[in-house]
Amino acid sequence: QKEVEQDPGPLSVPEGAIVSLNCTYSNSAFQYFMWYRQYSRKGPELLMYTYSSGNKEDGRFTAQVDKSSKYISLFIRDSQPSDSATYLCAMKTSYDKVIFGPGTSLSVIP
């Protein structure tokens, strides 16, 4: 079993929809959680970073962490075609390397 699991998709939604992206993990020592957006043939871009359970909001993006269930989510409100990309979750302990999920491919259709 991989440390971080993520549905690879592809996920296709109409413009304006609310998108929910999810990851589960097995290592209870993970304390820091990140979401990256990666456009085709580009490097990943850090979208959200959080280290506590609960919600963190930044514009149209909300990151949610549930440490008791070992489950994290990224919500995108009012999705736009420019949100079409691969979204990677990532997490780490306080002293170790970042572990990435395989990514979910998202297409927002105009």
Partner 1 sequence: EADIYQTPRYLVIGTGKKITLECSQTMGHDKMYWYQQDPGMELHLIHYSYGVNSTEKGDLSSESTVSRIRTEHFPLTLESARPSHTSQYLCASTLGDEQYFGPGTRLTVT
101 binds partner 1 (CB under 8 A): yes
Single out the segment in contact with partner 1 by CB under 8 A; choices: 15-23, 29-37, 63-71, 72-80.
Answer: 29-37
1 binds partner 1 (CB under 8 A): no
The rounded distance, in Å, linking the Cα atoms of 68 and 24 is 11
Please list every residue from 31 through 70 that binds partner 1, using CB under 8 A: 32, 34, 36, 41-46, 49, 51
Q: Are 87 and 102 in contact (CB under 8 A)?
A: no
The residue (of 19 and 35) whose beta carbon lies closer to partner 1 is: 35
Q: What angle do CA 57, 5, 14 make, to 5 degrees?
A: 55
C-beta of 16: minimal distance to partner 1 in Å?
26
Q: Are 83 and 74 in contact (CB under 8 A)?
A: no
